[in-house]
Amino acid sequence: MSPADPSPHPTSVTTDTDGAAHTSAQPDWAAPVAPGLLDATVVLPGSKSLTNRYLVLAALATERSRLRAPLRSRDTLLMADALRSLGVGIDDVVPEGEAVGGETVPDWVITPPERLTGGVGIDCGLAGTVMRFLPAVAALADGPVRLDGDPQARVRPMGPVIDALRTLGVHVDDDEGHLPVTVDGRGHVPGGAVTMDASASSQFISALLLAGARYDDGVTVHHDGKPVPSEPHILMTVETLRDAGAIVDDSEPNTWRVEPSEINALDVSVEPDLSNAGPFVAAALVAGGTVRVPGWPQHTTQAGDLLREILDTMGADVRLDRSGLTVTGSGELVGIDIDLHDAAELTPTVAALAALASTPSWIRGVAHIRGHETDRLAALTAELGGVGAHVVETADGLRISPAPLRGGRFRTYHDHRMATAGAIIGLRVPGVHVEDIDTTRKTLPDFVGLWQGMLDPSGSVVLAR
């Protein structure tokens, strides 16, 4: 559904805890208004991007790996299920110690098969990491692998990664650069050098690099086109590969080389998802008071770390120390002029904050998010506009200026970050009703529980796991 298609009686694709999508008519969620100043500690689950990279690398490794505190949300459960169907063992193991607050978070122990199994189908849901990363992995399977996903996934761009795989010696059938895609796995991939235009998604490059060490000649990827978005995610790919012993040369701009090599087993703890922390730390700015996120890393490749600078610029007091991140706001916030090209997934959160700010904002550099879960520029323009915000969509972003906001229906277009943007607005604006709040399960298993816990006036430690 495009943002221009209002759906008065919505039918939502939501997700069971096992990662399966199902269709249901779900009532809109009345976004709670903040009861006063916040005083909450929110323990967020692991990073989607890290969990799915570790899963892929562990599936291609020589030995058994252990993934501690992985994210268990729709995108990562789909990745785990897909790898299982390729013959990878992925089992829950209760960790030795206790997690924060006495809750145990099962680890994943990942056992790679001798050879990846072909002749299988993979459900990618709406997960960019699954639909882009797995064709490059499936090429190593013994037999054909068919990948498909949600209806919205069939319009997300795939062409450059498919064409690149063909150049590297893989046979692929596709639907004009989109899902469904069938990769004819032949047990090995010649590999070599390829030039691609990755201006629509950094995930095209990450996909080839993650699998490339297992290609006969490794892989050299050269990008030729407008600047690659979300570059920290490519650095994340490079660092996770190096953690697994792969040899990666990223010394030349727009060129990445992965040598052919074995991939070592991993034993890693997943950092909290900083982009998912966005709406929670934004809440301190909107409602006033303090929100703490324990475990915020001192050094990270996660793009969400840019939130520290963003919140500071918009008026929060932001402190990072060994206990984590502490964000304190007064309830007053100012606009921001920012290029989010490197951290495009933060756009819905920043746009929601901008709609509540007392001065104008300009978000630039994010044309490619028209190919995210939905056309996010159109969706944000429509939905923030629908609750009274002054939003102008530009060629590569949004201009948002102060306006009195009002309640109303906030449509989400199957996009988890549209849903959390609606929740941010609802903190201050009574009567915001968010469509299909369960779409947040794409990357957070229990957004509503966490959000309500954060708003509990008794002050709280809110556990996500």
Ligand X SMILES: O=C(O)C1=C[C@@H](OP(=O)(O)O)[C@@H](O)[C@H](O)C1
Ligand Y SMILES: C=C(OP(=O)(O)O)C(=O)O
The contact set with ligand Y (CB under 6 A) reads: 127-129, 345, 372-373, 417, 443
> How far apart (Å, rounded) are the C-alpha atoms in residues 144 and 172?
9
Would the annotation count 390 as a binding residue? no
Beta carbon of residue 193, minimum distance to ligand Y (angstroms, whole number): 26
Rounded to 5°, the CA angle 130-199-271 comes to: 45
230 vs 374 by CB, closer to ligand X: 230
Q: How is 11-41 classified by DSSP, letter by letter?
A: -EEEE-TTS-EEEE--PPEEPPPP-SSEEEE
Instruction: Tell me if 203 contacts ligand X by CB under 6 A.
Output: yes
For 208, the 3-state DSSP assignment is helix
Least distance from ligand X to the Cβ atom of residue 15, Å: 17
Catalytic residue among 96, 114, 239, 345: 345
The conformational region for residue 101 under phi > 0 = left, psi -120 to 50 = alpha, else beta, is left
How long, in residues, is the chain? 465
Is 203 annotated as belonging to a binding site?
yes
Could you give the CA distance from residue 380 to residue 382 in angstroms, rounded to a whole number? 5
User: Whose Cβ is closer to ligand X: residue 122's or residue 429's?
Assistant: 122
The one among 12, 14, 51, 129 contacting ligand X by CB under 6 A: 129
Asked if 229 interacts with ligand X (CB under 6 A), we say yes
- For residue 412, the partner it binds in ligand Y, ligand X, none, with Cβ less than 5 to 8 A by kind, is none
439 is a site residue for ligand X (CB under 6 A):
no
Q: Where are the beta strands (DSSP E) in 389-459?
A: 390-394, 397-401, 408-410, 432-434
Taking CB under 6 A as the rule, does residue 414 contact ligand X? no
Considering only 229-237, 357-365, 376-384, 445-453, which stretch makes contact with ligand X by CB under 6 A? 229-237
Is 226 annotated to bind a ligand? Reply is no
Is 384 within 8 Å of 401 (Cβ atoms)? no
Q: Which helix (H) or strand (E) holds 130?
A: helix 128-138
Give me the residues paired with residue 338 across strands. Answer: 363
Which among 463, 464, 441, 449 has a CA at the least distance from the CA of 73? 441
324 or 348: CB nearest ligand X:
348
Q: Which is nearer to ligand Y, 128 or 335 (CB)?
A: 128
State the amino acid at position 309 in one-letter form.
Answer: E
Tokens of 305: 């770390």
Which residue, 47 or 381, is less far from ligand X as judged by CB? 47
How does 284-314 read in b/e, with b if 16+ C-beta sit within 10 Å? bbbbbbbbbbebbeeebbbbbbbbbebbeeb
**Of 33, 28, 30, 29, the residue nearest 427 (C-alpha):** 33
What is the nearest approach in angstroms of ligand Y to the Cβ of residue 373? 6
Q: Which is nearer to ligand Y, 136 or 405 (CB)?
A: 136
Q: Is 230 annotated as a binding residue?
A: yes
Q: Could you tell me the smallest distance in angstroms from the CB atom of residue 417 to ligand Y?
A: 5
Shortest Cβ 443–ligand Y spacing (Å): 6
Is 49 annotated for ligand binding?
yes
Q: What does 302 interact with, of ligand Y, ligand X, none (CB < 5 to 8 A by kind)?
A: none
Report what 202 binds from ligand Y, ligand X, none; CB cut-off 5-8 Å by kind: ligand X
Closest to ligand Y by CB, 64 vs 226, is 226
Alpha helices in 301-390 (DSSP H): 307-313, 347-355, 376-386
Cβ 35 to ligand Y shortest distance, Å: 29
Question: Please, are residues 410 and 42 in contact by the beta-carbon 8 Å criterion?
Answer: no
Q: Is 331 annotated as a binding residue?
A: no
DSSP state of 98: P
| E-strand stretches of 131-288 | 142-148, 171-173, 181-186, 192-196, 219-223, 248-249, 255-258, 267-269
* Contacted by 233, from ligand Y, ligand X, none: CB < 5 to 8 Å by type: ligand X
- 275 among annotated binding-site residues: no
252 given a catalytic annotation: no
* Shortest Cβ 76–ligand Y spacing (Å): 10
Please list the active-site residues: 345
Which segments are annotated as binding site? 48-49, 53, 128, 156, 201-203, 230, 345, 372, 376, 417, 442
Residues of the binding site for phosphoenolpyruvate: 48, 128, 156, 203, 376, 417, 442
Judged by the rule CB under 6 A, the positions of this chain that interact with ligand X are 49, 128-129, 201-203, 206, 229-230, 233, 344-345
